[in-house]
Structure 1
């Protein structure tokens, strides 16, 4: 049964507004930084922002589930579940770089049907809704054509990826494309939707990292899967590949698969 997603999209925009108001005063300010179990950093901005979102969701949609990066899951078996990453790109945030975003996703039966990529400092917002055109600050956007992988611009999460077990595959992709940039996290997928980036390849992703990206990329005319070519949904996306021009997908996938 189809569901009108527009009310959820409007609410997600409200969440992004509230998060922006919370995060902006903390940007480029001294903050205590704590290392989590996986050695990734977390700040009071991450935790406080997620608490703001959880409070608003529970007040508006008490029957929905919530899964957040900082405070785990509640009612996760609900038909609709919100997946929250208050600051995707905490390393950028604590370094004073505006290449961090807030990611908000809504899944229905584990499939992402709504995604928001929000950059609160630059006031940039991408909204992807299943079956609709992705918008950037309210205006429709599209990926660009790039049929030859040798002409492509690639983003990947950080130079650290080259020293991990998937480093050789990513290095091969880097050596194939025209230009490579690092460390934009979810922001890179927004740039792909705007037509400035052709490929984004990431690994080590968690659901709160990848679920919001899929509706944004697909609604802009792009294609996004995991490294096995499977459609993104909850539990599928730890290794993510997004392309603007769909003709790049097979070539990039073959390289990443070695």
Structure 2
């Protein structure tokens, strides 16, 4: 549930400032490695290429050092170094490079994901695009994007027929074969389908550019920051049954209730 915890204004401001310090550090580290011809990658899995680079590890290390200094009582869940317990009831959920495949191949739409969560889910999220220079944030009273063109409010697109909707997903070979068939039922009914933008697709949904993002096989650090940003912009993020997806799995992000309900119906096989 978004904004399930209320903070004093000075506390909220401090949390937001911490998130921006984390994003600034990750932006600096990742850009040191981006498009370097000598950049190499390890793989986390043997069955498929799941890359991790020193940019991923270095950015998360820097963010953890900031949190140790600024918020030592908070827990951390990071993609590269796992969970660190805390006592405050708050957890920082970090994905230092969302879209490492894109990062490795020089495409610009990878990003840094930072969420602040409690036991009910994400309270605040930040999607930073270091190379593009755009930063999307939502929660704790904010729903905005800042970047080269200045600052603007985030607001999802209004309701429309599914046949007029724009749908994004990172991979065309989504999830299991059953997941792929369910996704295809939605893809066949929308106006436009595009692939490959990783977290930037969620940012575009919050900015009012597209209507749907449907994915599977996610982790908590993949979805919690986008959840907070999209909900702050008026959108909906659930699993494929309409339930909570804060811990990952299959997720559908929708700009409004109309396209959400229509897509859920097709994902369920109706």
TM class, shorter-chain normalised?
over 0.9
Q: Are 2:123 and 1:88 equivalent residues in the alignment? A: no
Instruction: Give aligned pairs, total.
Output: 255
Q: What stretches of structure 1 move > 4 A for 4+ residues in a row?
A: none
Structure 1 position 211, deviation (Å): 0.7
CA distance in 2, matches of 1:47, 1:169: 35
Structure 2 unaligned blocks of 5 or more:
none
Match of 1:179 among 177, 192, 205: 192
8 A contact 1:9–1:129 mirrored in 2: no
Deviation by residue 1:31-60 (Cα, 9 ceiling, x = unmatched):
111110364111111011100100101111
Structure 1 position 184, deviation (Å): 1.1
Match of 2:7 among 3, 17, 21: 3
Structure 1 unaligned blocks of 5 or more:
none
Corresponding residue of 1:58: 68
Corresponding residue of 1:36: 44
Corresponding residue of 2:265: 254
8 A contact 2:93–2:114 mirrored in 1: yes
CA distance in 1, matches of 2:121, 2:179: 27
Within a 5 Å distance, the mapping from 1:1-258 to structure 2 comes to 2-4=6-8, 5-29=12-36, 30-37=38-45, 39=48, 40-75=50-85, 78-130=88-140, 132-137=141-146, 138-161=151-174, 164-233=177-246, 235=247, 237-258=248-269
CA distance in 2, matches of 1:72, 1:95: 25
Deviation by residue 1:98-141 (Cα, 9 ceiling, x = unmatched):
110100001122420010000000110001114x2410014312
Question: Normalised by the size of structure 2, how large is the TM-score?
Answer: 0.90
CA distance in 2, matches of 1:228, 1:146: 20
- Distance change (3 Å), C-alpha of 1:207 and 1:31: same
Cα RMSD, aligned residues only: 1.6
CA distance in 1, matches of 2:15, 2:85: 18
8 A contact 1:157–1:202 mirrored in 2: yes
CA distance in 2, matches of 1:133, 1:83: 18
Give secondary structure in 2 for the equivalent of 1:242.
strand
Give secondary structure in 2 for the equivalent of 1:2.
coil
Question: Normalised by the size of structure 1, how large is the TM-score?
Answer: 0.94
8 A contact 1:162–1:170 mirrored in 2: no
